[in-house]
Structure 1
């Protein structure tokens, strides 16, 4: 297992700052989750930076509990109610997500809102190089991921009852405004490239040509693959999902091909042919084929935007770590990553005319 996989895979004892009343959970599950009565055990997943996530054993079955973190939170962040709603609707439409069992928005139960869903058996790959996977399977894993995102973008939100899940148009301008505000709310020191991006991005945003359900954080380690085949059995972590521009969603994942290892475990400088991981061109072509597009325009803008957004998210994780309520110990290391991300984002902005 690679160092990345070792750091994030599996569970650990619940961190003191993220403990809750297990007796209260047992009572809630007995009333709301069929067959989950009796004693339970709770452990915290190692992975995850935003909403703390726990494995719960109860009544001979395994569940996952995901909750808002305790403490003071940024406005509109950690929306577990939205995660629950979108996964429930998508699951009923046949999209690969865990079965949802219940949402509790009463903070008197565990201190913060939470939901419970099935634990899905399978493989989570934290290292995008897939070092523990046979060479022949790597291309199939990336193709399955590509097909899954294209399938998500093909849903009609109105048909799924998600027509009011967000504003369908002007997604990127709203995201720029939101993450500029969130970044400033969690800023711990001045970063010149972030300030330049905040000034430049709004007027440079391209017109949105389609609207879809967007995941918002679609990447390899936010999905579970079947134990013995390159099949996505569950897509996780829908906290940032809404209605919006599917190209923003796709190019967020495509950043993997444009970033170096030290910024995002990226593919720059990696011999992808040797690993049997698709090239950027072939990955883009597969998505375009599946979504009926001829090409993807203005990629430099999209990379600048997505790296800016990621830097703002990482700054929020780091800021929470300074307050003691981030869900992963590595969060404290994130502070040093923000400026390199922002500087790199500005190189794409310059190529796009910034």
Structure 2
């Protein structure tokens, strides 16, 4: 099956200590049967490292931070584990976590283990056994909007996120924080960055009522049932917080590419996502459907889209910085700096109202 849930042999340099991990699992998860631990890696991620663990008929997923130094407060496995434990009862698509460990002697960093979900993950293409039709694209589009709006409707005060987040001044902190992250990870001068960050600081709108936001909501973080009518799983909750829900919509739309987008924007990570296919919502249709489902005013979405493209540029720059510094040998990242420059320019186009 050609989809991003596909596992690969563990990449060189990203191996786990099998004996220590097996002993940890045996000592802390009594429901696991006796047997030999088998480890595969989920190969699609660009940031945290994710592994499939199997002992007999038991399966689970392990997540740990990327190799090398990481940005302050980034890749916080304990926080993500706590978020999942808190959200799982309210939002079933969030996988149930089993255990967190800060003992770095086991796999070389802190980590957590969570349940494995099974279903279809779609990224740049559909699995070979599925004949794509525009009706499938429309069905997925509606489901993604519906589940995003549903997440935003959860009462965050009933979850642990109430003590883990500071909704007041959210967008001000976001603009300032991601600007600083960019400066720390900068490897070369890109024209227009200062102009862009100044525009963002001067144009922050009054935020919507705060809500739980996933903040990395995209196709390859979602898992569907075989008929694409239910969301079987939603992954990568490390950026989740309580903040402006329209910032979450902006991030989702940045990953929701269209066939008419510039080639460098579509192909920055390789192949474009399946959202470019006929049948999938356009970004405008996504926004209209979300406004209908949520009742929110989206008149300031140009700001949130500008910020979201900048935020993605910073994330890519942080990944490229690790490659540039020799902290990862993953060749997928060799030319990521060119994608960063394209994202910066595209963000500037949104800020000037050039892109609709």
Normalization by structure 2: what TM-score? Answer: 0.89
Aligned equivalent of 2:298 = 296
Moved more, 157-166 or 215-224: 157-166
CA distance in 1, matches of 2:327, 2:21: 20
Structure 2 vs 1, CA of residues 281 and 70 (structure 1 numbering), >3 Å: closer, same or farther? closer
Give the aligned partner of residue 182 of structure 1: 181
User: What do the CA deviations read for 1:98-122 (whole angstroms, capped 9, x no partner)?
Assistant: 2211111222222111111111111
SS at match of 1:163: helix
| Map of 2:321 onto structure 1 | 319
Compute the displacement of 1:176 (Å). Answer: 1.4
CA 1:201/1:273 → structure 2, altered by over 3 Å: closer, same or farther?
A: closer
Cα distance in 2 between the residues matched to 1:264 and 1:171: 29
Q: Using a 3 Å threshold, how does the CA distance of structure 1 residues 46 and 163 change in structure 2: closer, same or farther?
A: same
Q: 2:121 aligns with which of 109, 118, 124?
A: 124
Matched, 1:285 2:288: yes
Unaligned runs of 5+ in 2: none
Q: Is the 8 A contact 1:138 1:275 kept in 2?
A: yes
CA contact (8 A) 2:91 2:151 kept: no
1:100 aligns with 2:97: yes
In structure 2, the CA distance between the partners of 1:132 and 1:193, relative to structure 1 (3 Å rule), is: farther
Q: Judge conservation of contact 1:95–1:152 (CA < 8 Å) in 2.
A: no
TM-superposed CA distance for 1:285, in Å, is 2.3
| TM-superposition CA deviations, 1:289-313 (whole Å, max 9, x none) | 22122x3012221111111110000
Cα offset for 1:230? 2.6
Of 324-333 and 175-184, deviating more is 324-333
Give the whole-Å Cα distance in 2 for the aligned partners of 1:312 and 1:132.
36
Following superposition, the deviation at residue 20 of structure 1 comes to 2.2
Distance 2:203 2:46 in 1: 30
Paired residue secondary structure (2:335) = helix
| Structure 2 residue aligned with 1:239 | 238
Q: Secondary structure at the match of 1:92?
A: coil
Q: 1:283 to 1:70 in 2, by over 3 A?
A: closer
Query: In the alignment, is the contact (CA less than 8 A) between 1:48 and 1:327 conserved in 2?
Result: no
Where do 1:1-354 residues align within 5 Å?
Answer: 8-36=4-32, 37-127=34-124, 133-255=132-254, 256-257=256-257, 259-264=261-266, 275-293=278-296, 295-326=297-328, 329-351=331-353
> Helix, strand or coil for the counterpart of 1:74?
coil
CA contact (8 A) 1:194 1:308 kept: no
Cα deviation, 1:80-105, whole Å, max 9, x if unaligned, reads: 11211111111122431222111112
SS in 2 for 1:143: helix
TM-score by length of structure 1 reads: 0.89
**3-state secondary structure, aligned to 1:330:** helix
Asked if 2 retains the 8 angstrom alpha-carbon contact of 1:107 and 1:113, the reply is yes
Other structure's SS at 1:18 match: coil
Q: Deviations over 1:136-191 (max 9, x none)?
A: 22111111111111111011111123201211122222111111111111111011
| Counterpart-to-counterpart distance in 2, 1:213 and 1:128 | 30
Give distance in 2, aligned partners of 1:196 and 1:139: 38
Secondary structure of the residue aligned to 1:224 is strand
Question: How many residues matched?
Answer: 344
CA–CA distance in 2 between the matches of 1:324 and 1:163? 39
1:32–1:101 CA contact under 8 A, matched in 2: no
CA distance in 1, matches of 2:353, 2:309: 14
Bigger drift between 79-88 and 145-154 goes to 79-88
| Structure 1, unpaired ranges of 5+ | none
Q: Deviations over 1:192-250 (max 9, x none)?
A: 22222222211211111210111111111111111333311111011111111000101
C-alpha distance in 2 between matches for 1:35 and 1:261 = 49
> Once the 2 structures are TM-superposed, how far is the Cα of residue 265 of structure 1 from its aligned partner?
5.4
Distance 1:207 1:94 in 2: 28
